[in-house]
Structure 1
Amino acid sequence: MTKPVVLITGASGGIGLAIAVAMGQSGFNVALNSLPEDKALNDAVTTVQATGAQVIAVPGDVADLETHNTMLDLVQAHFGRLDCLINNAGVSVMSRGDLLDVSTESFDRCHTVNTRGTFFLTQNAARRMLTTDACKHHRSIINITSSNAVAVSVNRGEYCISKAASSMGSRLFAQRLASAGIGVYEIQPGLIETQMTAPSKPKYDVLIEQGLTSIPRWGQPEEVASVAVSMANGNLPYTVGQEIRVDGGLMMPKF
């Protein structure tokens, strides 16, 4: 039987790499994307190959719309198809600070990658899925956003806005593609322990001890990956635009 194929952006480390490993273990062939200058991408390919999956590197900057065709052409040329796109690539603010001091440079950077790049890569991939014969496997698009798609963080407002917009994009594409049998989902990670969040760990260690999260610990990338695999395998039947919070109860209203 033909194996389904997944393209994961921002997949050289952290949550993206954990998802790639889990997808390989789940029976997918995997295309890993990261920036062309990212030296960790080849190591990531080797790591995912250990799952027994066929794996290729797809270097490219999601923010550069001109590269989207090249990236997707490479996937289809190698595997002959694309069944799942996982939009994991993203950037944070250039520096945390007063909302009244946000620079246009930092705002545009968040918007260009997290919102604009994600939207148009999704659009391009969706068009290709609609014109390719479906294999028997569920087809899907999964957006990795953030708790800040909902929660206000005034010291990184431009990031919050970009993730809120991407969250709406998930619902829009979900509505557009549902009748074609393509599921579009969203994962909102909370405090996930990665190299990217390491600088904030001392601060949030204290807050977690004080009850910030219902489950009193950091989340792990593999826990986000587990949810992504469930979505990609069609284990959320009869749902449209469903978002799942992998946040240990961070966003749970409590008193």
Structure 2
Amino acid sequence: MQRTAIVTGASRGIGRATALALALAQEGFDIAAVAWRDTERFEAVLADVEKIGRRCQAFDCDIGDIASHANLLNAVNRSFGEVHCLVNNAGVSVLQRGDLLDVGEESYDRCFNVNTRGTFFLTQAVARRMAAAPQTGELHRSIVFVTSSNAVAATIERGEYCMSKIASHMAARLYALRLAGLGIGVYEVQPGLILTEMTAPSKEKYDGLIEKGMTATPRWGMPEDVARVIRTMAAGLLPYTVAQEVRVDGGLLISRF
């Protein structure tokens, strides 16, 4: 049966891996790939998904613009029909790492507009439509929040990012409680040190820390590591799991002595 997944931030990094062979397209989902002002990357994503035999369409949307959500979902519905999975992957980092005492309003608002506010209200819009759709019991419906190890571990050099991610962590719990009775699974993935364009500026720093044992698994995580976990969630293989966060961090957050 046809299944459709919306993946935000789908043009690169974790979102791209989630849409492609190791995750949702391979699992049998058609993909509504959402990103903002990154259309030059969309063609490769579409081509790769279609090689797997699934449909894919790109949607240029800033999820931080709440007013655009209805148009986005209406367009997805016209192209694919009902949505069975939403992966809240889109996110931004700080404009500049630095002293917490120097955080500016622009960087703070940017993190919260996309990572927290935009994600919350897009989830709300999708959840309303899922709740209104007839339940067949045959297809698992799911919402996955991709947060961060910074929802747990404080990094004062990018405090506004950490705050936005702990807020998204709570949003995942709230939506999980609200939707569990409707048969909609809500999950959270907490990536650790994942090698993407967002983390590239800090690669040299963390290369050294990983070598010194910062992670139990002595390597960077890859987007595909996260994508495999998201695939498991979207496939309905965790039917009695409600909002428990799954850490994909190579043991980064395990207390050791």
Same structural fold, with TM-score higher than 0.5 when normalized by the shorter chain: yes
Class of the TM-score when normalised by the shorter of the 2 chains: over 0.9
Unaligned runs of 5+ in 2: none
Aligned partner letter, 1:245:
R
Paired position in structure 2 for 1:154: 156
Are 2:5 and 2:87, in contact at CA under 8 Å, matched by a contact in 1? yes
Paired position in structure 1 for 2:94: 93
Aligned partner letter, 1:187:
V
Aligned partner letter, 1:190:
G
Paired position in structure 2 for 1:16: 15
Structure 2 residue 218 is the aligned partner of structure 1 residue 216:
yes
Which of 176, 188, 196 is the aligned partner of 1:194?
A: 196
- Number of equivalenced pairs: 254
Q: Deviations over 1:130-153 (max 9, x none)?
A: 111245111000010100001000
Which of 167, 183, 186 is the aligned partner of 1:184?
A: 186
Structure 2 residue 83 is the aligned partner of structure 1 residue 48:
no
Unaligned runs of 5+ in 1: none
- What RMSD, in angstroms, separates the aligned Cα atoms of the two structures? 1.0
Paired position in structure 2 for 1:226: 228
Q: 3-state SS of the aligned residue for 1:199?
A: helix
TM-score, structure 2 as length reference:
0.97
Are 1:33 and 1:41, in contact at CA under 8 Å, matched by a contact in 2? no
Deviation of 1:37 after TM superposition, in Å, equals 4.9
**195 and 179 in structure 1: CA distance in 2 versus 1, 3 angstrom threshold:** same
Structure 2 residue 28 is the aligned partner of structure 1 residue 27:
yes
Paired position in structure 2 for 1:169: 171
Q: Distance in 2 between matches of 1:205 and 1:161?
A: 25
Structure 2 residue 208 is the aligned partner of structure 1 residue 206:
yes
Q: 3-state SS of the aligned residue for 1:116?
A: helix
Which of 127, 137, 140 is the aligned partner of 1:138?
A: 140
Aligned partner letter, 1:5:
T
Q: 3-state SS of the aligned residue for 1:39?
A: helix
Structure 2 residue 247 is the aligned partner of structure 1 residue 245:
yes
Q: Distance in 1 between matches of 2:199 and 2:82?
A: 34
Matches within 5 A, 1:111-122: 111-122=112-123
Q: 3-state SS of the aligned residue for 2:39?
A: coil
TM-score, structure 1 as length reference:
0.97
Q: 3-state SS of the aligned residue for 1:47?
A: helix
**Displacement over 6 Å in runs of 4+:** none
Q: 3-state SS of the aligned residue for 1:110?
A: helix
Are 2:187 and 2:245, in contact at CA under 8 Å, matched by a contact in 1? yes
Percent identical pairs in the alignment equals 55
Are 2:185 and 2:239, in contact at CA under 8 Å, matched by a contact in 1? no
| Residues 229-238 or 169-178, more deviating | 229-238
